[in-house]
């Protein structure tokens, strides 16, 4: 280990050992991955000492221009005209509105906004660009019915969807107050199997395994989502977009022990180079899944609270240090 490198959070390390021993981890099929995701997210949510309590939450259906989409609405304790459209992570194949209850509740309560979680279609049953199409349709639908500030947000694959939707909203002339991207996927070109692409992002080798998300897992996710060609399409690789100028102001949180760290950092650099206001925070001791581990690690809880605070700043126009 380099002298200046921070140590991996010991509480998260212990959590990952317990997670690996969970009976649901044995089934490595797509169905098994979905069951495991629900199980571990429910357990991590139950560990929260002071869980955020929204004023209300309910399921609904968004009647978008491309068809009905299931969604969950989470309301903040104090009435607000701000809205966040949220896209869950899970490698485009897993995750749902149950696995990300903690995430949506935190953003509603701590960012002070109505959060609308989108139950977008999953691969492999619905490969690329189904997830992107659903998330964009939901955002355009919400934008058409709301007058207050609107942001998009997501973690991991959901962060990729938020970033790509933000670019599409720019192109559609839909103004967003911001985009919150937590440990986002930003470059799927090469499907995480191309050595030349992987060499651009040292964290892919440095953090390939042992910290939750693995490079083997990312290759599997990309293969199942099946973006065309090399995966250069900006609808799945927002870093590969020809132009980032005019994208919504961004908050990007990355983690030191995440194979996706460097591509997330690179997206912050690309947005800044295009003149987009960016708040970028890298949490040196945390891993890819930190946003949902507030009950596991005090450091993860602080980082997740900061992400919500940063999102609140985008929605209110009040900058945070």
Map 21-89 to HEC letters: HCHHHCCCCHHHHHHHHHHHHHHHHHCCCCCCCCCEEEEEEEEECCEEEEEEEEECCCCCCCEEEEECC
State the SS3 of 222-272.
HHHHCCCCCCCCCCCCHHHCCCCCCCCCEEEEEEEECCCHHHHHHHHHHHH
d(CA 214, CA 193): 12
272-281, pLDDT tens digit by residue? 999 999 999 9
Number of domains the chain is built from: 1
127-159, pLDDT tens digit by residue? 999 999 999 999 999 999 888 999 999 999 999
Q: Which two tokens stand for residue 254?
A: 């990355």
Q: In this structure, is residue 1 part of a structural domain?
A: no
79-133, pLDDT tens digit by residue? 999 999 999 999 999 999 999 999 999 999 999 999 999 999 999 999 999 999 9
pLDDT at 319 over 90: no
pLDDT of amino acid 130 = 97
d(CA 201, CA 207): 11
Q: In this structure, is residue 133 part of a structural domain?
A: yes
Print burial letters for 58-94: b (CB count within 10 Å at least 16), e (below 16).
eeeebebeeeebbbbbbbbeeebebbbbbbbbbbbbb
Q: Which two tokens stand for residue 227?
A: 């973006």
In the three-class reduction of DSSP (H, G, I as helix; E, B as strand; rest coil), residue 6 is classed as coil
Residues 17-36 have a mean pLDDT of 95
58-84, pLDDT tens digit by residue? 999 999 999 999 999 999 999 999 999
pLDDT of amino acid 320 = 54
pLDDT of amino acid 145 = 86
pLDDT of amino acid 264 = 98
Strands 150-155 and 83-87: parallel
267-309, pLDDT tens digit by residue? 999 999 999 999 999 999 999 999 999 999 999 999 999 999 9
Active-site residue set: 156, 258, 288
Q: Which two tokens stand for residue 283?
A: 């949490």
Contact 124, 30 (CB under 8 A): yes
pLDDT of amino acid 4 = 47
Q: In this structure, is residue 299 part of a structural domain?
A: yes
pLDDT at 230 over 90: no
Residue 91, sorted as left (phi over 0), alpha (psi -120 to 50) or beta, turns out to be left
CATH of the domain at 118: 3.40.50.1820
Q: Which two tokens stand for residue 73?
A: 């609405």
Helix (H) / strand (E) element for 150: namely strand 150-155
Q: In this structure, is residue 113 part of a structural domain?
A: yes
201-228, pLDDT tens digit by residue? 999 999 999 999 999 999 999 999 999 8
Nearest 5 degrees, angle CA 264-CA 267-CA 270?
155
Q: In this structure, is residue 3 part of a structural domain?
A: no
Q: In this structure, is residue 4 part of a structural domain?
A: no
pLDDT at 175 over 90: yes
Q: Which two tokens stand for residue 102?
A: 């903690």
pLDDT at 2 over 90: no
Q: Note down the domain range covering 156.
A: 10-316
Residues 19-30 have a mean pLDDT of 95
Can you list the pairs that 275-279 forms with residues at least 24 positions away whose Cβ atoms lie under 8 Å? 275/245, 276/244, 276/245, 276/246, 276/247, 276/248, 276/249, 276/250, 277/249, 277/250, 278/249, 278/250, 278/251, 278/252, 279/250, 279/251, 279/252, 279/310, 279/313, 279/320
Q: Is residue 1 very low, low, confident or very high in pLDDT (cuts 50, 70, 90)?
A: very low
Q: In this structure, is residue 237 part of a structural domain?
A: yes
Token pair 């989470």 is found at: 74
The alpha carbon dihedral of 87, 88, 92, 97 has a sign of: negative
Per cent of the chain over pLDDT 90 is 94
Q: In this structure, is residue 296 part of a structural domain?
A: yes
- Cα 268 to the center of its chain, rounded Å: 15
**Residues in contact with 176: Cβ distance below 8 Å, sequence separation at least 6, in sequence order:** 150, 151, 152, 166, 169, 170, 248
Q: Is residue 39 very low, low, confident or very high in pLDDT (cuts 50, 70, 90)?
A: very high
d(CA 214, CA 121): 23
CA dihedral 42, 43, 46, 52 (to 10 degrees): -50
């Amino acid at each position: 280990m380099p002298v200046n490198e921070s140590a991996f959070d010991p509480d998260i390390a212990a959590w990952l050992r317990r997670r690996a021993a969970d009976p649901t981890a044995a089934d490595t099929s797509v169905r098994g991955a979905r069951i495991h995701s629900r199980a571990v997210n429910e357990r991590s949510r139950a560990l929260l000492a002071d869980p955020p309590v929204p004023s209300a939450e309910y399921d609904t259906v968004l009647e978008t221009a491309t068809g009905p989409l299931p969604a969950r609405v989470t309301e903040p304790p104090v009435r607000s005209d701000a809205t966040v459209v949220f896209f869950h992570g899970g490698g485009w194949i897993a995750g749902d509105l149950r696995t990300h209850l903690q995430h949506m509740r935190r953003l509603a309560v701590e960012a002070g906004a109505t959060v609308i979680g989108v139950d977008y279609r999953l691969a492999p049953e619905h490969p690329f660009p189904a997830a992107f199409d659903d998330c964009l349709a939901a955002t355009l639908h919400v934008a058409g019915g709301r007058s207050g500030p609107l942001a998009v947000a997501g973690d991991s694959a959901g962060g990729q969807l938020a970033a790509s939707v933000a670019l599409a909203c720019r192109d559609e002339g839909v103004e967003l107050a911001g985009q919150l991207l937590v440990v986002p996927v930003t470059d799927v070109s090469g499907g995480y199997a191309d050595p030349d692409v992987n060499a651009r992002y040292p964290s892919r080798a440095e953090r390939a395994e042992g910290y939750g998300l693995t490079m083997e897992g990312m290759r599997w996710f990309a293969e199942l989502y099946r973006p065309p060609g090399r995966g250069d399409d900006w609808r799945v690789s927002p870093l590969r977009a020809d132009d980032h100028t005019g994208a919504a102001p961004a908050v990007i949180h990355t983690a030191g022990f995440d194979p996706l760290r460097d591509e997330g950092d690179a997206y912050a650099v690309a947005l800044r180079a295009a003149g987009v206001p960016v708040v970028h925070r890298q949490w040196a001791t945390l891993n890819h899944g930190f946003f949902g581990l507030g009950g596991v690690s005090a450091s993860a809880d602080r980082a997740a609270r900061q992400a919500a605070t940063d999102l609140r700043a985008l929605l209110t126009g009040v900058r945070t240090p």
